[in-house]
A = this chain, B = another copy of it.
Amino acid sequence: MKMALLSSSSGIAVATIKYYLREGLLPAGERHGPNQALYGPEHLRRLRVIRGLLDVGGLSIAAAHRVIDAIDSDLGLAHTFEIAQRTVSAEIEPDSVSPASVTRVDELLSGWHVSPDNPGRLAAARVLTTFDDLGQPDLSGWVPGYAAAALAVAEADLDEIDARDDRESKTEMVVIGTVLGDALFAALRRAAQEHVSVQRYSPPSP
């Protein structure tokens, strides 16, 4: 298919597709002359992946580039996982995190096998530091529930990856699932908050 069709069937402007080509997000089409190239269904699909990562996952172009590279290259699953995790996690300056918060996170995660440079470990500590800075009272009734839920979700994530049969599909689920899973959970949390709130404070007539 040609550029015009690729554009119309993806809903993305020609200029934008050319931009993605320049940035290396989208592989070049099959060349047939100095100003001719053909694109296949894999380009269309790739464009959908890109839009999903950008619009739903909220990634930047650079971040999307990194995770797409991770899908394309055949590193091991563990390595792919790490790239996906690091890409979706914002870089955290160590001095924005109090050592006490890190300790609290480590206690919370005691029993878990988590390496010291897991991006989530510092990110969680950063959140707790922010609560501390705001003088929030004891959150020990709140945070453990999050950890338990995160564990359940991680089990579901790994189950889903296990359920894929070929390596390529596993890799893709690792990356897409890591990125879109955050969005999915956040969305369901909103719904659940309304449900629980109604349940508790204005229960439907029994």
Binding site for B on A (CB under 8 A): 45, 48-49, 51-52, 55-56, 58, 78, 81, 85, 88-90, 96, 109, 112-115, 118-121, 123-124, 126-128, 130-131, 133-137, 139, 141-143, 145-160, 163-164, 169, 172-173, 176-178, 180-201, 204
Complex: A56 Cα to B182 Cα, angstroms? 15
In the complex, which of the residues B118, B156, B164, B172 contacts A145, with contact meaning CB atoms closer than 8 Å? B156
Q: For A159, what are the chain B residues with a Cβ–Cβ distance below 8 Å? A: 141-142, 145
* In the complex with contacts A134-B52, A197-B81, A181-B190 CB distance below 8 A: no
Residues in B with CB closer than 8 Å to A120 are: 186-194
Whether A151 pairs with B85 at a CB distance below 8 angstroms is: no
Q: A139-B160, A184-B143, A190-B123 are in contact. Are A133 and B48 (CB under 8 A)?
A: yes
Asked whether A150 lies within 8 Å of B185 as measured between CB atoms, the reply is: yes
Instruction: Check if A150 sits within 8 Å of B191, measured CB to CB.
Output: yes
Residues of B within 8 A of A150 (CB): 149, 185, 188-189, 191-192
Cβ of B115 and Cβ of A194 under 8 Å apart? yes
Nearest B-chain residue to A160, judged by Cβ: B142
Is B194 touching A158 in the complex (CB atoms < 8 A)? Answer: no
CB distance from A136 to the nearest CB of B (A): 8
Given A52-B130, A127-B183, A190-B119, is A149 in contact with B152 using a C-beta cutoff of 8 Å?
yes
The chain B residue sitting closest to A122, CB to CB, is B187
The residue of chain B having its C-beta at the shortest distance from the C-beta of A147 within the complex is B188
Bound CA–CA A143/B152 (angstroms):
12
> Contacts A133-B52, A183-B127, A196-B158 known; A118 to B153 CB distance under 8 Å?
no
A153 and B160 within 8 A (CB): no
A-B contacts, 14 of them at CB < 8 A, read A48-B130, A48-B133, A112-B194, A113-B194, A120-B190, A120-B193, A121-B190, A145-B152, A146-B188, A150-B192, A151-B195, A157-B193, A158-B193, A185-B185
